[in-house]
Structure 1
């Protein structure tokens, strides 16, 4: 009986000291056109620490849930830009963008008129 009490006490103590990861959900704009873009964007966003990543083709809104201790919104957006898709904060490298399939070439803001950072991926 004492063994069971000690075991229960140990389990309770372990559970009370465990720290839950800080999960966060954020949404931001990502430019693209089609189902191929959706697959590329969502795949790029699935970094270590990303729990879920969904891009809506119609609204161009990306929603990501991630563990704040492993990644952040800027890192996710930079990774998406690295595969050719501009985000609200980061502009894809022109050479990477130009290699996208024709159906994926979305209308871009000019680099000089944009407040996006130009990534060198």
Structure 2
């Protein structure tokens, strides 16, 4: 009886540990502010240059950044911080004023006039 109890205990403890295992090819999508193809190039470049990121595509219309990355090497917060460092806001992490000001005038997505100009 003790052996059965011990086996069941080990089984129940091992299930939560395996559920927390970090994935080699994790997928994620999140919003990144931007307005043009220059933004696309910059966002994708910084994401792909992040250790552990294998795939990064930013959609200009939906503002979705789709990723495949190795959770054992990088987490989403670190990727979002790097994106913000090149001047692009995410929902959780905003670019500093200094980083945003370094963007090309065409890429100033916080300005209504620029956003309207890119809708044309």
Q: Name the CA distance, whole Å, in 2 between partners of 1:26 and 1:53.
A: 10
* 2:54 aligned residue: 51
Q: Which runs of 5+ in 1 are unaligned?
A: 1-20, 109-121
Q: What TM-score, normalized to structure 2?
A: 0.70
Which residue among 81, 89, 101 is the counterpart of 2:104?
101
Q: Does 1:28 align with 2:27?
A: no
Q: Which runs of 5+ in 2 are unaligned?
A: 1-22, 112-120
Size of the aligned set, in residue pairs, is: 88
Alpha-carbon RMSD = 1.2
Trace 1:58-73 onto structure 2 (pairs within 5 A).
58-73=61-76
Mapped to 2, the partners of 1:50 and 1:101 lie a distance apart of 25
Residues in 2 aligned to 1:50 and 1:99: alpha-carbon distance in whole angstroms: 24
Give the TM-score, by structure 1 length.
0.70
**How far does residue 22 in structure 1 lie from its aligned partner after superposition?**
2.4
Alpha-carbon distance in structure 1 between the residues aligned to 2:24 and 2:37: 31
* Counterpart selection for 2:93 from 71, 90, 93: 90
Alpha-carbon displacement from aligned partner over 1:61-111 (angstroms, at most 9, x marks no partner): 101100110001111000000000001110001011012111100027xxx
**Runs of 4+ in structure 1 over 2 Å off:** none
